[in-house]
């Protein structure tokens, strides 16, 4: 199981993007599901319920990524993508996640605007593969 978190300002467009990522993963033969941060927070119940899945996409607010809050998710999340609306917070996200060895990247605004779930999926999988190859 791999877990990709997409963070945004908390809006509808990022939720729609996360749904498109799950659809793209499913069309590629992956067993994928969309969750929210509270579904992932408790490691034991999360792993028990979702460990058989190929991909878990978590959509949440960028405010979830603070040193104190994100420690609850650090073992469950493999990579984080930052939506264009909160691109200005990328440095903060990068600092917090860097301390936890979780890779992150900004989502291309054109791919986001066009709701290219396939491109965002590819970007997320590449981030997770880079992490796993270290």
Segment 14-69, tens digit of pLDDT: 888 999 999 999 999 999 999 988 888 888 889 999 999 999 999 988 887 776 77
Q: Hey, what are 10's tokens?
A: 């908390």
The C-alpha atoms of residue 35 and residue 43 are separated, in whole angstroms, by: 14
Query: Counting Cβ atoms within 10 Å, is residue 68 exposed (0-12), middle (13-18) or buried (19+)?
Result: exposed
Asked if residues 83 and 9 have their Cβ atoms less than 8 Å apart, the reply is yes
- Band (pLDDT 50/70/90 cuts) for residue 134 is low
Average pLDDT over residues 92-117: 92
The reported pTM is 0.92
């Amino acid at each position: 199981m791999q877990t990709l978190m997409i963070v945004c300002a908390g809006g509808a467009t990022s939720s729609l993007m996360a749904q498109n990522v799950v659809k793209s993963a499913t069309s590629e033969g992956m067993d994928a599901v969309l969750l929210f941060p509270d579904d992932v927070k408790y490691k034991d119940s999360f792993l028990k319920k979702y460990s058989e899945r190929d991909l878990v996409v978590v959509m949440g607010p960028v405010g979830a990524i603070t040193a104190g809050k994100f420690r609850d998710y650090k073992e469950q999340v493999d990579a984080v993508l930052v939506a264009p609306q909160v691109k200005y917070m990328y440095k903060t996200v990068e600092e917090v996640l860097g301390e936890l060895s979780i890779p992150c990247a900004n989502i291309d605004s054109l791919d986001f605007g066009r709701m290219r779930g396939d491109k965002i999926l590819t970007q997320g999988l590449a981030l997770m593969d880079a992490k796993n190859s270290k």
